[in-house]
């Protein structure tokens, strides 16, 4: 049973994230201020928000190239993100990272990598450090449904299970690797069932139901805190916009608009917002739009890094 | 103290001194302890800080890098360089980039110890050095100590300074003996060592080739030729300045390197000198390196493949415009008897 307070927190988290991503989509090519490959999180909000709601501030996430959702959900600084997207000195990586390499160490957001499954072992390593140091902390390893095809993903599961490390693997199954469907990449074995082969519990949840994501994550996180070892959660979700960039891509033909609309009808935010008065949701919207306005002003006014930082 | 013992000692000293340091890799806690270099560590420090790993080099390196982001200082050991090539994604895409990509807000630290095989039919996949590949990458430190003293000092430097450090250790150096100080001392990266001072010809080497070059220098001394031998010690950063100062004096340069010529460290040194001072050479420099093919297995082919003491001495004689040696130089001690 999820309390009303928690539902409010989850709704606010998802709505804020949605508004950030949709604003970025709207301004991406307006003045071409954001010169970085941007993988928007629109449609997948329930995953990062649901998972991070089950964490403590000192827990860590190790995001991948679609990093905005994890960065924001774990509490990363919005101004520093906007400045980073614009390549500014005030960015979270001072303009050296861009959209695919966000980090906010103080919020527990470890550096993100744009190599598939690149940060999965980093999360396992964080868990190894927690174990060696005897710290009561949990690491989250998010990965897409294509990243789990990488060898290092399996190496990481094997290691984590062998050492009973406090890490939770989250597979965001949005069905596509760029434009290649899951059926063209993997045999038809449910992804979450593969966890069993590594001796860890695997479960699947509905990525349009943030409460389901939260509940199953909390169960896995608690198991990790009890030093019983890692868990694996597959979240069924859908990326609304194109793989990289601000647009919809129904015209490309690798997926149908009808398929997209079926997911959009089950929008995770709409479903939860229906439980709140419309005026309340609107006030949250106004609050977040203002925050985003301010972050964009901050980013636009920030200076670019000096060219002298490139050593010859 | 043997080279293998100095490595063991450096690790033990640092583990006593710094709780962040831990060590792992296939065979690390086994009775032979990676050719003696990890013997007894598990007994002293326990299995939380000294342990075996699954056979997954990329995953293991990534995990150690992730641990380093939480303040740890891991050591990863691979019994052959070749095995570690599976970990290039984590080394090149991640470890080398991290500090720069995150503007210094996070840095990955790891000491990767890699051992080069040679002889007894190690063959094409147990004898590669690959140091030039690592040295190509900005953000990495690549050490290739030739002596027990340097091996210990460089391990301590790597663990104290942090950052990703690849240390190339040659299996054939493991029994080299030298007095090594107790306790903590450092050998800096990017500072070549003039192992022998001389005036006629500059001989540049690293790792096991330093030991071979010393033998050649002794033979040449018998012919009245004074060799200045420079041990590079680290390949990134690369101390071109020390080589430059020596060649400025001798005007003649021979480079010995256990690797292939294309894109090699020796090629880089010649290029750097030519850019800096094209008139520095009194005669064309010569590289003594491997034939441009994978390392063979059969004993006679191995013998033909690796440069001999005579090859090194002859190269020095050649740049001096003198006739080469009439006969092979006999090895001072028995060959490596394997198995690994």
Neighbours of B118 (CB within 10 A): 18
Q: What is the mean pLDDT of residues A250-265?
A: 97
Distance of alpha carbon B313 from alpha carbon B309, whole angstroms: 6
Residue B17 lies in a domain: yes
Same domain, B164 and B17: yes
Q: Give me the residue from A105, A111, A159 closest to B101, CB to CB.
A: A111
What's the number of CA atoms in the CB half-sphere (13 Å) around residue B241? 3
A296 touches chain B (CB under 8 A): no
Same domain, B122 and B217: no
pLDDT at B195: 98
Alpha carbon of residue A92 to chain centroid: 17
Same domain, B17 and B107: yes
Residue B328 lies in a domain: no
Cis peptide, bond prior to residue B237, ω within 30 of zero = yes
Chain B nearest-CA residue for A124:
B63
- Please choose, from the candidates A55, A48, A61, the residue with its C-alpha nearest in 3D space to the C-alpha of residue A102: A61
Which of A125, A127, A199 best probes binding to B when mutated, by most B CB atoms within 10 angstroms?
A125
If one counts the domains in chain B, the total is 2
**Edge-to-edge strands of the sheet including A231-236?**
A60-61, A139-144, A167-173, A231-236, A202-206
pLDDT at A308 over 90: no
pLDDT band at B135 (very low <50, low <70, confident <90, very high): very high
Distance of alpha carbon B170 from alpha carbon B210, whole angstroms: 11
Name the least confident of A211-220, B95-104, B327-336.
Answer: B327-336
CB-CB contact of B259 with B131 (8 Å):
yes
Contact list, A127 vs chain B (CB under 8 Å):
66
Which B-chain residues 94-113 have CB contacts (< 8 A) with chain A? 94, 98, 100-103, 105-106
Same domain, B197 and B157: no
Where in the sequence is the domain holding B30, given as residue range(s)?
3-173
pLDDT band at B338 (very low <50, low <70, confident <90, very high): confident
Residue B208 lies in a domain: yes
Which CATH number belongs to the domain containing residue B20 in this structure?
Answer: 3.40.50.970
Tell me the nearest-neighbour CA distance from B53 into chain A, angstroms: 8
Helix (H, G, I), strand (E, B) or coil at B282: coil
Mean pLDDT of chain B: 97
Q: Give me the residue from B69, B94, B102 closest to A126, CB to CB.
A: B69
CB-CB contact of A207 with A264 (8 Å):
no
pLDDT at A312: 58
Q: What is the mean pLDDT of residues B69-75?
A: 98
Alpha carbon of residue A124 to chain centroid: 17
Same domain, B301 and B159: no
pLDDT at B331 over 80: no
How many Å from the N-terminal Cα to the C-terminal Cα in chain A? 60
**ipTM, interface predicted TM-score of the complex:** 0.97
Residue B122 lies in a domain: yes
Same domain, B153 and B232: no
Which CATH number belongs to the domain containing residue B266 in this structure?
Answer: 3.40.50.920
Same domain, B168 and B217: no
A110 touches chain B (CB under 8 A): yes
Which listed residue (B5, B94, B126, B257) is catalytic? Answer: B126
To the query of whether residue B57 is one of the catalytic residues in this protein, the response is: yes
The answer to whether the Cα torsion of B83, B88, B94, B96 is positive or negative is: positive
Contact list, A126 vs chain B (CB under 8 Å):
66-67, 69-70
Contact list, B103 vs chain A (CB under 8 Å):
93-97
Residue B332 lies in a domain: no
pLDDT at B334 over 70: no
Residues B147-204: pLDDT tens digits? 999 999 999 999 999 999 999 999 999 999 999 999 999 999 999 999 999 999 999 9
Contact list, A119 vs chain B (CB under 8 Å):
66
Helix (H, G, I), strand (E, B) or coil at B112: strand
Residue B185 lies in a domain: no
Kindly report the CATH number that applies to the domain delimited by A4-207+215-302. Answer: 3.40.50.970
Cis peptide, bond prior to residue A208, ω within 30 of zero = no
Contact B69 A122 (CB under 8 A): yes
CB-CB contact of A160 with A230 (8 Å):
yes
CB-CB contact of B78 with B115 (8 Å):
yes
Residue B305 lies in a domain: yes
Same domain, B264 and B311: yes
pLDDT at B330 over 90: no
pLDDT at B177: 96
Residue-range domain boundaries for chain A: 4-207+215-302
Residues A215-226: pLDDT tens digits? 999 999 999 999
- Residue pairs between chains A and B whose CB atoms are closer than 8 Å: 125
Q: Give me the residue from B62, B89, B105 closest to A103, CB to CB.
A: B105
Mean pLDDT of chain A: 97
Residues B33-71: pLDDT tens digits? 999 999 999 999 999 999 999 999 999 999 999 999 999
Residue B335 lies in a domain: no
Same domain, B221 and B151: no
Same domain, B148 and B214: no
Which A-chain residues 233-272 have CB contacts (< 8 A) with chain B? none
Residues A62-106: pLDDT tens digits? 999 999 999 999 999 999 999 999 999 999 999 999 999 999 999
pLDDT at A121 over 70: yes
Chain A nearest-CA residue for B61:
A121
Contact A111 B100 (CB under 8 A): no
Contact A62 B66 (CB under 8 A): yes
pLDDT band at A282 (very low <50, low <70, confident <90, very high): very high
Same domain, B310 and B227: yes
Same domain, B50 and B163: yes
What's the number of CA atoms in the CB half-sphere (13 Å) around residue A83? 24
């Amino acid at each position: 049973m999820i309390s009303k307070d928690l539902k409010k927190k989850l709704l606010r988290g998802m709505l804020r994230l949605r508004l950030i991503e949709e604003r970025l989509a709207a301004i991406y090519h307006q003045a071409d201020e954001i010169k970085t490959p941007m993988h928007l999180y629109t449609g997948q909000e329930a995953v990062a928000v649901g998972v991070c709601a089950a964490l403590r501030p000192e827990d860590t996430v190790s995001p991948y190239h679609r990093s905005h959702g994890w960065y924001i959900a774990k509490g990363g600084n919005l101004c520093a993100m906007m400045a980073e997207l614009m390549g500014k000195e005030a960015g979270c990586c001072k303009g050296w990272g861009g959209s695919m390499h966000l980090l906010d160490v103080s919020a527990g957001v470890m550096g993100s990598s744009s190599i598939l499954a690149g940060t999965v072992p980093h999360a396992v390593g964080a868990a190894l450090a927690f174990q060696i140091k005897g710290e009561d902390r949990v690491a989250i390893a998010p990965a897409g449904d294509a990243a789990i095809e990488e060898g290092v993903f399996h190496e990481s599961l094997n290691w984590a299970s062998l050492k009973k490390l406090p890490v939770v693997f989250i597979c965001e199954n949005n069905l596509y690797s760029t434009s290649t469907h899951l059926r063209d990449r993997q045999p038809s074995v449910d992804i979450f069932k593969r966890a069993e082969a590594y001796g860890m519990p695997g479960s699947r949840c509905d990525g349009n139901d943030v409460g389901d994501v939260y509940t199953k994550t909390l169960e896995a996180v608690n198991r990790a805190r009890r030093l019983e070892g890692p868990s694996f959660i597959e979240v069924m979700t859908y990326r609304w916009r194109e793989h990289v960039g601000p647009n919809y891509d129904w015209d490309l033909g690798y997926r149908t608009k009808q398929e997209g609309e079926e997911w959009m009808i089950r929008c995770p935010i709409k479903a939860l917002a229906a439980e709140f008065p419309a005026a309340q949701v609107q006030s949250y919207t106004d609050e977040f739009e203002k925050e985003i306005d301010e972050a964009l002003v901050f980013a636009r006014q920030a200076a670019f890094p000096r060219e002298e930082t490139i050593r010859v | 103290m043997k080279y293998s013992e100095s490595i063991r000692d450096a690790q033990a000293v640092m583990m006593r001194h710094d709780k962040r340091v831990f060590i792992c890799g296939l065979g690390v806690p086994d009775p032979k302890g990676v050719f003696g270099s990890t013997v007894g560590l598990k007994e002293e420090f326990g299995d939380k800080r000294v342990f075996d790993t699954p056979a997954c080099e990329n995953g293991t390196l990534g995990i150690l890098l992730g641990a380093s982001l939480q303040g740890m200082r891991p050591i990863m050991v691979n019994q052959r360089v070749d095995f570690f090539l599976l970990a290039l994604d984590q080394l090149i895409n991640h470890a080398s980039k991290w500090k720069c990509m995150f503007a210094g807000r996070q840095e990955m630290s790891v000491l990767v110890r890699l051992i080069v095989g040679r002889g007894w039919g190690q063959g094409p996949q147990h004898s590669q050095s690959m140091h030039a590949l690592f040295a190509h990458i900005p953000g990495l430190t690549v050490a290739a100590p030739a002596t027990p003293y340097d091996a210990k000092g460089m391990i301590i430097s790597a663990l104290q300074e942090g950052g990703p450090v690849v240390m190339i250790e040659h299996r054939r150096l493991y029994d080299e003996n030298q007095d090594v100080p107790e306790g903590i001392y450092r050998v800096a990266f990017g500072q070549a060592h003039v192992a022998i001072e001389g005036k006629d010809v500059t001989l540049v080497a690293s790792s096991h080739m330093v030991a071979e070059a010393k033998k050649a220098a002794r033979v040449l001394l018998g012919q009245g030729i004074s060799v200045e031998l420079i041990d590079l010690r680290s390949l990134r950063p690369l101390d071109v300045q020390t080589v430059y100062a020596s060649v400025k004096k001798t005007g003649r340069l021979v480079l010995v390197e256990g690797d292939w010529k294309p894109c090699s460290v020796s090629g880089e040194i010649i290029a750097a000198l030519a850019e800096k001072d094209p008139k520095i050479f009194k005669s064309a420099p010569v590289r003594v390196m491997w034939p441009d093919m994978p390392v063979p297995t059969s004993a006679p082919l191995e013998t033909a493949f690796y440069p001999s003491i005579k090859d090194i001495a002859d190269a020095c004689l050649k740049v001096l415009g003198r006739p080469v040696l009439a006969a092979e130089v006999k090895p001072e001690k028995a060959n490596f008897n394997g198995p690994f």
